[in-house]
Amino acid sequence: MSSNRSEALFAAACKHIPGGVNSPVRAFRGVGGNPIFFSRAQGAYLFDADDNCYIDYICSWGPAILGHAHPDVIREVQEAATLGLSFGAPTEVEVEMADIVCELMPSMDLVRMVSSGTEATMSAIRLARGFTGRDVLVKFEGCYHGHSDSLLVKAGSGALTLGVPSSAGVPASIAQHTITLPYNDLDAVRDYFREHGDKVACIIVEPVAGNMNLIPPRPGFLQGLREVCDQSGSVLIFDEVMTGFRVALGGAQALYGVKPDITTLGKIIGGGMPVGAFGGRRDIMECIAPLGPVYQAGTLSGNPIAMRAGLKTLSLIRQPGFHEQLSARTKALCEGLEAAGRKAGVPISTHHIGGMFGFFFSETPAWSFAEATQGDTEYFKAFFHAMLAEGVYLAPSAFEAGFVSIAHTESDISNTIAAAERALMATRR
Ligand code: PMP
């Protein structure tokens, strides 16, 4: 597999781009080596600058649920572009988007569009603070909610991979309002709220944690958070940037039957274009400008091209049977990985929910941040590179979830499992 062009591009990129990448999760810091540069993508496949083909399990970190460059989505984008790129004024497609999002996410009465997941969560916590008149924000260790100051405290994803879960540059006077508790530990939440509940503006949680590998909520965890918020008058925020439309059409809130007060969305809602959204209970959302005193705005918010890409994507994934098929493929992949591990004598355990999965080199999968970070990261590195050589592109970190698209065929899955078997045989110790 040649990598000459990728290597040359990386060297050129390092001249004027910090670390050669525009987002740190793209660097190969968690696995060693240099990142691969890609030139095109189609369906389940990525093609790099040297024209090597990979089966893609990152799916642009979630958005590409239909696979890359779905022809219907591309057509929408092309048509929309001819009508003007951005108006900075209201358009009909924003109305359509708001109606569909509120229909699919039953906890949302009103929704505001933004341009990234970070903007969605940043705005949601400001709103929760403005609504309650309280400052304290409770989050969970290893959960990632974008890179705004208040949320880069004991964060997951690239911050965890790079060993800076609490970023430099966040003033202590801001970080002091962020309380971090262990994910899936309801007792710790109840203990904290017993003492301090009346000061907590909000709990923000990934209802399925996808930024420290994949950790599902323990039975009763999300329900417990709902109860604690109800008792204390705090706002419950589900960060469904990753899980929205992916673990189920109505997100994790539909899957687990728990209604948050505010939901944040991103990734799939933009169909591959830069989009985020936050929405929820009418009385809370009415605090947002221009209706209320909590300010939030965006030059490109509700961008017509992004709306059209998102609307088309949502219309395709709401077809009957879509999520059943996506889940079945993801399940087959996970079962196959476990079987490959048994054959090679390397313990592999997995979690999968809808079109998300995680795997661990241990007999049982992790249920907590502590367990997720105990894994053998050295072995992960070897496995990652062996899979890359086999033409399978996994997230370059042991602390990220994997993503499957509807374009992944049964043979893509079985080829991946066969590749994993060979990779495990080659790397086992
Ligand atoms: N929340 C969650 C749960 C995420 O996974 C991410 C990004 N992976 C974000 C927020 C931030 O989204 P963005 O990168 O679009 O700012």
Other beta carbons within 10 angstroms of residue 163's beta carbon come to 8
Nearest-CA neighbor of 214 among 181, 187, 245, 247? 247
SS3 284: helix
Query: Measured between alpha carbons, how far is 105 from 89 in angstroms, rounded to an integer?
Result: 25
Residue 121 Cβ < 6 Å to ligand 1: yes
Backbone angles phi, psi at 224, to 5 degrees: -65, -40
Residue 146 Cβ < 6 Å to ligand 1: yes
Q: Which bin fits 26, alpha (ψ -120 to 50), beta or left (φ > 0)?
A: alpha
Classify strands 235-239 and 136-140 as parallel, antiparallel or unpaired.
unpaired
Sheet of strand 349-353: strand arrangement: 349-353, 356-360, 402-403
Residue 239 among the catalytic residues: yes
Query: Measured between alpha carbons, how far is 233 from 201 in angstroms, rounded to an integer?
Result: 8
Looking from the CA of residue 276, the nearest atom of ligand 1 is 15
Question: Which tokens belong to 34?
Answer: 């240099």
| Centroid of ligand 1 to alpha carbon of 425 (angstroms) | 35
The CATH class of 71-317 is alpha beta
* Amino acid identity for residue 61 in this structure: W
Distances (CA, A) of 429 to 154, 216, 308, 390, 424: 33, 30, 50, 19, 9
Q: What is the pLDDT of residue 290?
A: 98
Residue 144 among the catalytic residues: yes
* Whether 313 contacts 307, CB under 8 Å: no
Looking from the CA of residue 211, the nearest atom of ligand 1 is 5
CA–centroid distance for 28 within its chain? 19
Below-50 pLDDT ranges, the chain: none
Question: Which tokens belong to 415?
Answer: 């080829």
Q: What is the pLDDT of residue 218?
A: 98
* Whether 109 contacts 279, CB under 8 Å: yes
Question: Which tokens belong to 12?
Answer: 């050129």
Looking from the CA of residue 118, the nearest atom of ligand 1 is 16
| Centroid of ligand 1 to alpha carbon of 407 (angstroms) | 23
Question: Which tokens belong to 227?
Answer: 């109860």
Query: Measured between alpha carbons, how far is 191 from 120 in angstroms, rounded to an integer?
Result: 29
Q: Is 387 exposed, middle or buried (0-12, 13-18, 19+ CB in 10 A)?
A: buried
Residue 131 Cβ < 6 Å to ligand 1: no
Residue 350 Cβ < 6 Å to ligand 1: no
Query: Measured between alpha carbons, how far is 270 from 244 in angstroms, rounded to an integer?
Result: 12
CA end-to-end distance (rounded Å), the chain: 25
Residue 99 among the catalytic residues: no
CA–centroid distance for 347 within its chain? 26
| Centroid of ligand 1 to alpha carbon of 271 (angstroms) | 15
Q: What is the pLDDT of residue 80?
A: 98
* Whether 150 contacts 174, CB under 8 Å: yes
User: Over the stretch 269-314, which tens digit does the pLDDT of each residue have?
Assistant: 999 999 999 999 999 999 999 999 999 999 999 999 999 999 999 9
Cβ neighbours for 394, distance < 8 A, ≥ 6 positions apart: 57, 58, 384, 387, 388, 402
Q: What is the pLDDT of residue 375?
A: 83
**Extents of the domains making up the chain:** 4-69+320-427, 71-317
* Domain 4-69+320-427 CATH (choose: 3.90.1150.10, 3.10.290.10, 3.30.365.10, 3.40.50.620): 3.90.1150.10
Q: Hey, CA dihedral for 296, 301, 302, 306, is it positive or negative?
A: negative
Query: Measured between alpha carbons, how far is 429 from 426 in angstroms, rounded to an integer?
Result: 9
